[in-house]
Amino acid sequence: MSPGPLSLVPELQRLIGAAHVRTALAERHTYATDSLPTHRRTPALVALPGTRDELIAVVRLLARHGVPFVPRGAGTGLSGGALAGHDAVLVVLTRLSRILRLDAANRLAVVEPGVVNVKLSAAARPHGLHYAPDPSSQTACTIGGNVAENAGGPHCLKYGVTSQHILALEVVLPDGGVVELGSPGGEPWGPDLVGVFVGSEGCFGIATRITVRLVPLPRAIHTLLADFDALRTAGEAVSAIIASGVVPAALEMMDRPCIQAVEDSVYAAGYPRDAAAVLLVELDGNAEAAVAAEADAVARMLRERGARSVRATAVPAERERLWQGRKKAFGALGRLSRDLVVQDAVVPRSALPAVLETIARIAETHGLVVSNVFHAGDGNLHPNISFDARDRAMAERVERASAEIMAACIAAGGTITGEHGVGLDKLRYMPLVFGGDSLGAMRGVRRVFDPAERANPGKVVPVHACREWAGVA
Amino acid sequence: MGRRGVSIAERVRALLGREAVVDAGPDAAGGPRVAPESPDGVALLLGTAHEEGWRVRVEGAGTWLPGDTPADLTLATRRLDRVPAIHPQDLVATAEAGIGLDALRQRLADRGVWLALDPPGLPGRTLGSVVATATAGPLRGGFGPVRDHLLGMTFVTGDGRLVQAGGQVMKNVAGYDLTRLVTGSFGAFGVIVLVHLRLRVLPRADSTHVLEGARSDLMQIAEEIRAAGGQTAALELVSPALARRADWVLGVRLVGSAAAVETEETALRAAAGGRFAPLRADQAQAFWRHAAEGNAARAVTFRVGGLPDATDELQDLLQHQVGDERVSASPGVGAIRWNGECSADRLLRLRRTLAALEAPLTVERAPWELRHAVGHFGAYREGAGPLVSGLRGTFDPGHRIVTAIDTGAG
């Protein structure tokens, strides 16, 4: 029987210092949500270890006493995944923020989990390198959080998501054991345990050291902005670009509500306010002539597919301005209403036009404002629902609309999350995608890493939906 | 064994139909060869094997791993050779695991799409074999390892459960990534029956350029190309025997749009003072095919994954300890593949030396006796062994699928 987290306060204070163990309600409330406003849990206490050894000591203490814990980075997640309840300790990793090694010759870096995504790229820049996955929250989110969620971002279209950039991990398992997974060259020492750890949402332990792959900065970059009269036409242009064989670095779409929110904000990027949709297409490479030729070809395709206008630039300041609107779109949307649900789903790219129309119908049916800003090139949708959580009836409509959007994406051959994770928010949809045996298999894997299921309990796999599995109680 | 084999064959015929037993045996492994025609058939067979205690050897086209793994029956995936879906507009396809890669490649090309994998071995190797062993070829330099080409899969566990992992879309974080766990696990967690693939548009231009010379000189040129930011699809250093040439060969493959390939060709000419020789399409095809087939010409094939800047040092080590007659290396990604004859003792010694350099050695193919002695992976690092055996126990609780992943502790 667990003694309860609060009984561990003196020992935790001894391990990591009293200032780094937060017990006051006001302090704990700070950690009651992530960036998704629909879930709220206040942790029993919050521990902020400052070194790898402190982190391991904390996990071992919790293991000895059988206390559940939830790892958390910057709390920018969008699935309620990094929330701990009254019976669990929230282990916050933001103080573990050192870049331990940067090996330019081998294009890799070794970092602690609390390193902020954009700071890693900044450190790599003088070497002509960068860390490619770039979630919208990259100025705040941490590499540890990116690993836990297998985070994406606009430029993952060409460069791949987090799992393609993690070479090796040092992990403290929930029982306190420390294990090294993967090798600096990326070849596993056996079955691909790095691969299964990335995206495990804190249920398999905590990465204490992360070896990431860095990629060369492109020498030539061209950015195009195209605007359209109809969402469907923009969606069809996306399909045409993908099917042509050109692989843009990024291919992003925003609809009218989103364009207007951006243009009304300090992040105004000069998007045409009357457009039904804009596409932001980025092409990069090492040779200016080849990238320029590709940009011309894409501009032609966009015009042929119904773009009203296409603006192209290779000037860094102009490119930055165009991107600012996209990167800060969620912030701009946040000004429109008290609360915002940022949804996440993926559909086959050719299904985008039809699914976008279905989402618009769902929004209309429920009397909600849904704006779309998303990674069109990957088919990764982010329908954002503006609402006021204090209005219970409205909040229920948001829940129903979210469920219908998920069902529509699954029916189109897609899935319920492309980069935000399951966390708490998508638990109920997991049985719509996976059968009992598949969910049981996932739970079986989790129990190999964490037999007592103390690490981030109650997330990712809905236990009630699992078919009985060998070794699973 | 013979009587037991016949009895298993009869049981299987009753379960799956007479045509499922393609060879009543006993074969080299010691039992009948069974080829279920559907994923459900595989599940039924493995479920029964689990109940009955039959040990199962898994086989694709039978061209990669030798068929001498001791087992009560061989499960052949050869009748799982359908391609249920190709979606060129989405650049995805779904194929059953028993289809030969050459046949799949042709089906995809007919629809204008391409799977950027060029694994070692014969062209008819099955998709399932390539995924289960994670054997990527020279294209790994430009397009990543095998796992980067997979969106999801269905596999059957050792106790006969059908598990879906991942999906058919480009990004997917719904649940734990079992696709990556199963990829390259040499059958430890089940039999892959269906794979969802990430494709590319068939390249408009595809050219290969070769440069012959001393290994160290070519390594230097490879490093210069890499440092210059060359966007090569493959940058492969191939030993004379594999290249069928008098000297070492640096092979460079460029694919993409005509404009992009032309740009890279110009850069390539600058990199080596115009010494690279372009190959005609048929010559290029032969060059890469010889290298791939040569990687499986002798009994033992292994791969080593090190840091890119250690490639030369690792090759020296291989040359010193086991020879370097049949070697190919991707210096840009630090991957080396070796083929030849080698004893268990030498292999274990080499693996220990490489481990100290943080470079795992994975035995990709070898006679069972050697595989069993050294294991595909060898001893696991501290703390990882219990995880692997726990996972093995979860997915194949009776250890019915015979594979050398639990061995080689030396």
Each domain of chain A, given as residue ranges in start order, spans 5-92, 99-216, 220-330, 337-411, 434-465
Cβ separation B384–A180 shorter than 8 A: yes
Helices (H), B63-163: 101-110, 127-133, 140-143
Cβ separation B382–A179 shorter than 8 A: yes
Contacts of B307 (CB under 8 A, 6+ apart): A103, A106, A108, A184, A185, B334, B358, B359
B178 touches chain A (CB under 8 A): yes
Q: In the 8-state DSSP scheme, what is residue A415?
A: B
Taking contacts as CB-CB distances below 8 angstroms, the residues of chain A near B263 are: 287, 289-290
Q: Are B166 and B100 in contact (CB under 8 A)?
A: no
Domain boundary residue among B76, B95, B130?
B76
Say yes or no: B181 and B90 in one domain: yes
Give the position of tokens 């109920």. A428
Taking contacts as CB-CB distances below 8 angstroms, the residues of chain A near B230 are: 286
* pLDDT score recorded for residue B26: 75
B303 touches chain A (CB under 8 A): yes
Q: Are A89 and A69 in contact (CB under 8 A)?
A: yes
Please indicate whether residue B401 or residue B380 has the higher confidence score (pLDDT). Answer: B401
Cβ separation A460–B362 shorter than 8 A: no
pLDDT tens digit string along B63-101? 999 999 999 999 999 999 999 999 999 999 999 999 999
State whether residue B87 is helix, strand or coil: strand
Half-sphere exposure of A342 (CA within 13 A, CB side): 24
B237 touches chain A (CB under 8 A): no
Q: How many A/B residue pairs have CB atoms within 8 Å? A: 265
Buried b (16+ CB within 10 A) or exposed e, B82-109: ebeebbbbbbbbbbbbbbbbebbbeebe
* pLDDT score recorded for residue B27: 73
Distance from C-alpha of A228 to C-alpha of A230, rounded to nearest angstrom: 6
B47: containing domain: 2-76
Tell which residue, B324, B372, B367, B370, has the closest CA to residue B347. B370
Q: What are the strands of the beta sheet with A45-47, ordered from one edge?
A: A21-22, A45-47, A89-92, A69-72
Domain-embedded: residue B161:
yes
B170, B204, B358 ranked by CB distance to A378: nearest: B170
Mean pLDDT of chain A: 95
Q: In the 8-state DSSP scheme, what is residue A157?
A: H
Question: What tokens does A261 get?
Answer: 């929110």
Local confidence band at B257 (pLDDT 50, 70, 90 cut-offs): confident
Model confidence at A59: pLDDT above 90:
yes
Q: Which helix (H) or strand (E) holds B154?
A: strand B150-156
* pLDDT score recorded for residue A469: 63
* pLDDT score recorded for residue A282: 97
Question: What one-letter code names the amino acid at B83?
Answer: V
Model confidence at B51: pLDDT above 50:
yes
Q: Are A202 and A456 in contact (CB under 8 A)?
A: yes
A178, A244, A442 ranked by CB distance to B383: nearest: A178
pLDDT tens digit string along A262-287? 999 999 999 999 999 999 999 999 88
Mean of pLDDT values over A166-178: 98
Mean of pLDDT values over A308-326: 94
Buried b (16+ CB within 10 A) or exposed e, A43-55: bbbbbbbbebebb
A183, A413, A460 ranked by CB distance to B359: nearest: A183
* pLDDT score recorded for residue A470: 52
Cβ separation A191–B308 shorter than 8 A: no
pLDDT tens digit string along A394-437? 999 999 999 999 999 999 999 999 999 999 999 999 999 999 99
Residue in A closest to B188 by C-alpha: A191
Please state the pTM of the whole predicted model. Answer: 0.96
Say yes or no: B139 and B66 in one domain: no
State whether residue B253 is helix, strand or coil: strand
Cβ separation B90–A380 shorter than 8 A: no
> How are beta strands B234-238 and B162-166 bridged, if at all?
unpaired
Contacts of A72 (CB under 8 A, 6+ apart): A31, A82, A84, A90, A91, A92, A93, A145, A202
How distant is the Cα of A189 from the closest Cα of chain B, in angstroms? 5
Distance from C-alpha of A301 to C-alpha of A293, rounded to nearest angstrom: 12
The C-alpha R_g of chain B, in whole angstroms, comes to: 21
Query: For a pLDDT cut of 70, what percent of chain A falls above it?
Result: 98
> How are beta strands A178-182 and A250-255 bridged, if at all?
unpaired
CA angle A90, A95, A96 (to 5 degrees): 100
B205 touches chain A (CB under 8 A): no
Taking contacts as CB-CB distances below 8 angstroms, the residues of chain B near A349 are: 89-91, 170
Say yes or no: B194 and B111 in one domain: yes
Say yes or no: B103 and B67 in one domain: no
* pLDDT score recorded for residue B1: 42
How distant is the Cα of B239 from the closest Cα of chain A, in angstroms? 22
* pLDDT score recorded for residue B227: 87
* pLDDT score recorded for residue B350: 97
Distance from C-alpha of A460 to C-alpha of A431, rounded to nearest angstrom: 11
- Class of A337-411 in CATH: alpha beta
Contacts of A145 (CB under 8 A, 6+ apart): A72, A73, A74, A76, A77, A82, A113, A151
Distance from C-alpha of A219 to C-alpha of A253, rounded to nearest angstrom: 25
Cβ separation A191–B388 shorter than 8 A: yes
How distant is the Cα of B334 from the closest Cα of chain A, in angstroms? 7
pLDDT tens digit string along A374-386? 999 999 999 999 9
Say yes or no: B315 and B341 in one domain: yes
Mean of pLDDT values over A59-82: 97
Say yes or no: B175 and B250 in one domain: no
Model confidence at B408: pLDDT above 80:
no
Tell which residue, A91, A101, A32, has the closest CA to residue A61. A91
Distance from C-alpha of A76 to C-alpha of B82, rounded to nearest angstrom: 43
B114 touches chain A (CB under 8 A): no
State whether CATH 3.30.465.10 applies to domain A99-216: yes
Query: For a pLDDT cut of 90, what percent of chain B falls above it?
Result: 88
Residue in A closest to B385 by C-alpha: A190
Tell which residue, A386, A463, A394, has the closest CA to residue A422. A463
Q: Are B142 and B116 in contact (CB under 8 A)?
A: yes
In the stretch 304-363 of chain A, residues with CB closer than 8 A to chain B read: 346-350
Cβ separation A348–B333 shorter than 8 A: no
Cβ separation A293–B259 shorter than 8 A: yes
Cβ separation B257–A105 shorter than 8 A: no
Model confidence at A2: pLDDT above 70:
no
Mean pLDDT of chain B: 94
Domain-embedded: residue B391:
no
CATH architecture of A220-330: 2-Layer Sandwich (3.30)
Domain-embedded: residue B229:
yes
pLDDT tens digit string along B316-369? 999 999 999 999 999 999 999 999 999 999 999 999 999 999 999 999 999 999
Domain-embedded: residue B324:
yes
Model confidence at A472: pLDDT above 70:
no
Distance from C-alpha of A380 to C-alpha of A377, rounded to nearest angstrom: 8
The partner residues of A120 in beta bridges, in order of sequence, read none
In the stretch 165-184 of chain A, residues with CB closer than 8 A to chain B read: 173, 177-181, 183-184
Q: Are B326 and B332 in contact (CB under 8 A)?
A: no
Q: In the 8-state DSSP scheme, what is residue B126?
A: B
Residue in A closest to B175 by C-alpha: A460
Say yes or no: B217 and B321 in one domain: no
A266 touches chain B (CB under 8 A): no
Mean of pLDDT values over B7-12: 91
Distance from C-alpha of B2 to C-alpha of B24, rounded to nearest angstrom: 10
Taking contacts as CB-CB distances below 8 angstroms, the residues of chain B near A202 are: none
Query: For a pLDDT cut of 90, what percent of chain A falls above it?
Result: 90
Which one of B162, B164, B176 would you mutate to disrupt binding with A, by most A Cβ within 10 Å of its Cβ? Answer: B176
How distant is the Cα of B113 from the closest Cα of chain A, in angstroms? 9
Cβ separation A163–B177 shorter than 8 A: yes
CA angle B42, B47, B49 (to 5 degrees): 95
Of chain A, the end-to-end C-alpha distance in Å amounts to 18
Domain-embedded: residue B222:
yes
Of chain B, the end-to-end C-alpha distance in Å amounts to 31
> How are beta strands A89-92 and A45-47 bridged, if at all?
parallel
Say yes or no: B166 and B221 in one domain: no
Please indicate whether residue B3 or residue B316 has the higher confidence score (pLDDT). Answer: B316
Tell which residue, B273, B282, B291, has the closest CA to residue B236. B291
pLDDT tens digit string along A187-208? 999 999 999 999 999 999 999 9
Say yes or no: B191 and B251 in one domain: no
Cβ separation A192–B185 shorter than 8 A: yes
Q: Are B163 and B190 in contact (CB under 8 A)?
A: yes
A199 touches chain B (CB under 8 A): yes
Distance from C-alpha of A291 to C-alpha of A302, rounded to nearest angstrom: 16
Say yes or no: B316 and B355 in one domain: yes
Q: How many domains does chain B have?
A: 4
State whether CATH 3.30.43.10 applies to domain A5-92: yes
> How are beta strands A99-103 and A89-92 bridged, if at all?
unpaired
Distance from C-alpha of A216 to C-alpha of A131, rounded to nearest angstrom: 9
Model confidence at A26: pLDDT above 90:
yes
Cβ separation A348–B87 shorter than 8 A: yes
pLDDT tens digit string along B284-324? 999 999 999 999 999 999 999 999 999 999 999 999 999 99
State whether residue A69 is helix, strand or coil: strand
Distance from C-alpha of B264 to C-alpha of B276, rounded to nearest angstrom: 12
A446 touches chain B (CB under 8 A): yes
B356 touches chain A (CB under 8 A): no
B278 touches chain A (CB under 8 A): no
Peptide bond before residue A184 is cis, with ω within 30 degrees of 0: no
Say yes or no: B96 and B55 in one domain: no
Domain-embedded: residue B404:
no
Q: Are B25 and B31 in contact (CB under 8 A)?
A: yes
Give the position of tokens 């850069």. B267
Mean of pLDDT values over A199-226: 97
DSSP A335-380: TTSSEEEE--EE--GGGHHHHHHHHHHHHHHTT-EEEEEEBGGGTE
A163, A184, A289 ranked by CB distance to B358: nearest: A184
Mean of pLDDT values over B43-50: 98
* pLDDT score recorded for residue B3: 46
Rounded to 10 deg, the angle between the A9-16 and A52-64 helix axes is 160
In the stretch 76-105 of chain B, residues with CB closer than 8 A to chain A read: 87-92
Domain-embedded: residue B387:
no
Cβ separation A445–B162 shorter than 8 A: no
Same CATH fold assignment for domains A99-216 and A220-330: no
